[in-house]
Structure 1
Amino acid sequence: MALTSESTTIWKGTLFEGSGDVNLDSSGLANFQVTWEGRSEGVSNMTNPEELLAAAHSSCFSMALSLALAQAGNPPESIQTTAAVTFEAGKGVLGSHLLVSARVPGITEAEFEAFAADAKDNCPISKALAIPITIEAELA
């Protein structure tokens, strides 16, 4: 069964002076304000499309890694993933870097790194991105 998730943004004004509100329609869990300053200058009380992309990437990767480990008979105790998405004005999204630490009893560091690399390449968000994706994976 296919599931479609929806978010709506209402933008008012020009790119540089305007602002927008992003609503997570499907879940109704959050509404975020976005502005150019939040995107280009890192204003702390606003989000930006790259932060939202990082949230999608880190959660999707964690879920894919958890599934692969469990299917191989090594369910993880925990997985912590940070996705750092880099944006540069005039160039766009330059990449996503995944920083992963996990507790997985019964596997070696090399085995974990192989699972992490596979999840990096095959989680649905990674597959949807046309940007370089790098990773650092560490078994805790």
Structure 2
Amino acid sequence: MTPPQRRRRMPQEPPPEPAPAAPAEGAEGEPAVPNPERLYSLTGTAAGSERASIDLVTLIVAAEDPPPTLTPEQVSLLRLCTAPLSVAEISAYLSLPFSVVTILLTELMAADLVQARAPIVRQIVPDRSLLEAVMHGLQKL
């Protein structure tokens, strides 16, 4: 049996240069990934202050309606948080990085406009009677 021979490719024209990609548009006509200058302008005032100890699963609830002195991002954050939302959800809805959302929330907490709640922790040890009921139900199958 002879090994297959390789075929030479015919010289082809080089592929055309791809056109520069237009930035992906978000729901409100803004780029999906904000540029660093915009992020700095959102958080530039909080450069020297301490951040609140906020985790990704910390629940945030708005305490009051947004006053007219807030930035548009803070107003949209407050409108989102009429029901408890985790910081990860807020970050996803606003299309902002977690660090930027943390700084915005720190400013809102200092003004008492939002409240941070620890996530709901389930009972560590399940109830023995529940486990027995599940075990008996599985044995009957």
| TM, length-normalised to structure 2 | 0.20
Bigger share in strand: 1
Which gives a bigger RCO, structure 1 or 2 (Cα 8 Å, sep 6+)? 2
Larger radius of gyration: 2
